[in-house]
Amino acid sequence: MPEPVDGNSLAGPLSELFSADLRTATARCLGCGDVSELARATVYPDPTGYVVRCGQCDDVLMVIVEEPNSICLELRGMSWLKVPR
């Protein structure tokens, strides 16, 4: 088993992940198991950000909250998110 390293080692893969065009990323819904591109999800904008719902079962896939100095991303409704390289 490899020796563990600290979270700084995530800088490369996470910067690649979050700089990608996420509209073409695919996600698996925890509610129904549907696998679809995020572009096919239903998005409800509101003054604090966005609620993204599954296009098949309408469960919440993710919530994005925009604050003056940060953006909070909550992904509780998906089992995974795959971003094409």
Indicate the burial class of 77 (C-beta count within 10 angstroms; 0-12, 13-18, 19 or more).
buried
What single letter denotes the amino acid at residue 43?
Answer: V
Query: Considering only CA atoms, which of 15, 17, 23 is closest in space to residue 41?
Result: 23
Residue (40 or 85) nearer to Zn ion, CB: 40
User: For binding to Zn ion (CB under 5 A), which residues are involved?
Assistant: 29, 31-32, 34, 54, 56-57, 59
Name which of 18 and 40 has its Cβ closer to Zn ion: 40
CB of 13 to Zn ion, least distance (A): 26
The residue (of 58 and 66) whose beta carbon lies closer to Zn ion is 58
